[in-house]
């Protein structure tokens, strides 16, 4: 099936906004082509990690303080020097025009209006320059994969700096794609919607353009030393995305990372790994305040955001949740996601008796022991 055959109908954008994030997810999945729905919702292997990401949030209970005397809790924070109205980034999901014709350009505009930052994908439908042009002046990060010839990586870094990005998100957990059985059963041809940053003559087949991203010919899998050497000479702060252990978090910081993104790629890479939230305390301890920390994988509501921050994350990263908004309403749909998240986060903070996300500490949550 080709990407052009699977874009959702625009009728979904004409309905009233869903009242909750779970309703928004249901509406998005209802209008997606089954193959695209599998691409979005599926995970690796038996999808045990995919399910574990959600169950991990149920292991933590809130510990409220009543009669706190606090008013109007704040959701404001900062990440890599970027001020945020909500402790949220949107993920660098590629093939974005599968979900809406405006793809990451719509996401960028919604983020800018909400005071939220996004990460532009390397394998996106639009070039990184087109994404920054969609929301001029809005702070964003750009994704890079440490693979292939180093000169290609450096060329993309130069483009990222020139386009005005505020940071780089280096995705370290994708030396190859995961074993995704849903896609083997119902494949989607992604090449027409992920070539935004990889131009080629008209005579070059789309799959060869796609191959530029994952071509590691003669280079093997990179190590931290190679990445550190390249990133040392560029001017932007960078984040290592896809870290699950204290060992790798320490290695990332030693390599120069200003932030670590605790993530199992939403359960899409290696099955039977721990949930990202389960590993967050270990990573926080290993980093020891030397870098900022983000978390993705499993975030579905504002309460999840608050739990992650109480456990040591500075921000969370939205992948599928942002896609649901994009499917349902394009820019307005993503803005609706941010609005619902802000309202729920504010409600939870008020009921917890905490004055803001930057004041959250581990004593706001308690691990369930049964």
Residue 46 is predicted with a pLDDT of: 97
Residue 79 is predicted with a pLDDT of: 98
- From start to end of 117-244, where are the E strands? 117-120, 140-144, 167-171, 238-243
Distance CA 339, CA 45 (A): 34
Query: Per-residue confidence at 209, pLDDT binned at 50, 70, 90?
Result: very low
Any domain includes 166: yes
Lowest mean pLDDT among 209-223, 266-280, 318-332: 209-223
- From start to end of 77-232, where are the E strands? 77-79, 82-84, 88-90, 117-120, 140-144, 167-171
The closest alpha carbon to 90, from 296, 268, 343, 314, belongs to 296
Would the annotation count 297 as a binding residue?
yes
CATH number of the domain within which 307 lies: 3.20.20.70
Residue 201 is predicted with a pLDDT of: 42
Using DSSP bridges, classify how beta strands 82-84 and 117-120 pair: parallel, antiparallel or unpaired: unpaired
Query: Per-residue confidence at 261, pLDDT binned at 50, 70, 90?
Result: very high
The stretch 335-362 carries a mean pLDDT of 97
Q: pLDDT tens digit string along 279-312? A: 999 999 999 999 999 999 999 999 999 999 999 9
Would the annotation count 319 as a binding residue?
yes
Residue 220 is predicted with a pLDDT of: 64
Distance CA 41, CA 291 (A): 31
Would the annotation count 245 as a binding residue?
no
Task: Write phi, then psi, for 30 (nearest 5 degrees).
Answer: -70, -30
Question: Using CB atoms within 10 A of its CB, is residue 170 exposed (0-12), middle (13-18) or buried (19+)?
Answer: buried
Would the annotation count 194 as a binding residue?
no
% of residues, the chain, pLDDT over 70: 90
Residue 199 in this model has a pLDDT that exceeds 60:
no
Any domain includes 366: no
Would the annotation count 300 as a binding residue?
yes
Any domain includes 368: no
Any domain includes 114: yes
Considering the chain, what is the average pLDDT of its residues? 91
Structure tokens that stand for 348 in this block: 């939870």
Q: pLDDT tens digit string along 97-129? A: 999 999 999 999 999 999 999 999 999 999 999
If one compares 149 and 214, the residue with the highest pLDDT of the two is: 149
Residue 134 in this model has a pLDDT that exceeds 70:
yes
Would the annotation count 165 as a binding residue?
no
Q: pLDDT tens digit string along 224-256? A: 999 999 999 899 999 999 999 999 999 999 999
Any domain includes 240: yes
Residue 91 is predicted with a pLDDT of: 98
If one compares 335 and 200, the residue with the highest pLDDT of the two is: 335
Q: How many domains does the chain have?
A: 1
The stretch 130-136 carries a mean pLDDT of 97
Query: Per-residue confidence at 173, pLDDT binned at 50, 70, 90?
Result: very high
Rg (the chain; Cα; Å)? 20
The stretch 192-198 carries a mean pLDDT of 79
Domain region containing 121: 3-8+16-62+73-360
Residue 148 is predicted with a pLDDT of: 83
Active site residues: 265
Would the annotation count 49 as a binding residue?
no
% of residues, the chain, pLDDT over 90: 81
Distance CA 289, CA 285 (A): 8
Would the annotation count 265 as a binding residue?
yes
Would the annotation count 92 as a binding residue?
yes
The stretch 145-156 carries a mean pLDDT of 90
Residue 205 is predicted with a pLDDT of: 46
Q: pLDDT tens digit string along 40-62? A: 999 999 999 999 999 999 999 99
Would you report the helix, strand and coil content of the chain in percent, each value rounded to 5?
Answer: 45, 15, 40
Any domain includes 367: no
Residue 6 is predicted with a pLDDT of: 57
The stretch 151-168 carries a mean pLDDT of 95
Would the annotation count 100 as a binding residue?
no
Residue 176 is predicted with a pLDDT of: 85
Residue 204 is predicted with a pLDDT of: 40
Any domain includes 365: no
Any domain includes 336: yes
Q: pLDDT tens digit string along 305-327? A: 999 999 999 999 999 999 999 99
Q: pLDDT tens digit string along 215-225? A: 545 456 799 99
Would the annotation count 93 as a binding residue?
yes
Other residues' Cβ atoms within 10 Å of the Cβ of residue 208: 14
Residue 347 in this model has a pLDDT that exceeds 90:
yes
Q: Is residue 7 a contact partner of residue 101, using CB atoms and an 8 Å limit?
A: yes
Name 338's Cβ contacts closer than 8 Å, sequence gap at least 6: 86, 88, 110, 111, 114, 116
């Amino acid at each position: 099936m080709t990407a052009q055959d699977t874009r959702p109908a625009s009728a979904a954008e004409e309905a009233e906004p869903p009242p909750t994030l779970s309703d928004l997810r249901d509406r998005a999945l209802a209008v997606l082509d089954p193959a695209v729905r599998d691409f979005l919702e599926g995970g690796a292997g038996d999808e045990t990690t995919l399910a574990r990401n959600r169950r991990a949030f149920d292991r933590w209970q809130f510990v409220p303080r009543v009669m706190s005397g606090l008013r109007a809790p704040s959701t404001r924070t900062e990440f890599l020097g970027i001020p945020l109205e909500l402790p949220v980034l949107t993920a660098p999901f590629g093939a974005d025009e599968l979900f809406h014709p405006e793809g990451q350009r719509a996401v960028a505009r919604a983020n800018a209006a909400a005071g939220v930052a996004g990460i532009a994908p390397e394998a996106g439908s639009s070039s990184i320059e087109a994404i920054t042009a969609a929301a001029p002046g809005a702070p964003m990060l750009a994704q890079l994969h440490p693979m292939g010839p180093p000169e290609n990586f450096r060329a993309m870094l130069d483009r990222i700096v020139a386009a005005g990005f505020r940071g780089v998100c280096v995705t370290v957990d994708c030396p190859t794609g995961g074993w995704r059985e849903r896609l083997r059963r119902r494949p989607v041809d992604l090449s027409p919607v992920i070539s935004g940053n990889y131009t080629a003559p008209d005579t070059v087949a789309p799959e060869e353009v796609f191959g530029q991203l994952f071509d590691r010919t003669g280079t093997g899998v990179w190590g931290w030393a190679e990445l550190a050497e390249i990133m040392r000479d560029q001017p932007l702060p960078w984040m290592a995305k896809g870290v699950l252990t204290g060992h790798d978090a320490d290695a990332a910081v030693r390599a120069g990372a200003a932030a670590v993104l605790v993530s199992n790629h939403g359960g899409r890479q290696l099955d039977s790994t721990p949930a990202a939230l389960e590993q967050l305390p270990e990573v926080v301890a290993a980093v020891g305040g030397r870098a900022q920390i983000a978390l993705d994988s499993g975030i579905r509501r504002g309460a999840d955001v608050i739990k992650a921050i109480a456990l040591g994350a500075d921000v969370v990263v939205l992948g599928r949740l942002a896609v649901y908004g994009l499917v349902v309403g394009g820019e307005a749909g993503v803005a609706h996601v941010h609005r619902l998240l802000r309202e729920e986060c504010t409600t939870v903070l008020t009921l917890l008796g905490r004055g803001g996300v930057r004041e959250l500490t581990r004593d706001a949550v308690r691990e369930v022991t049964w």
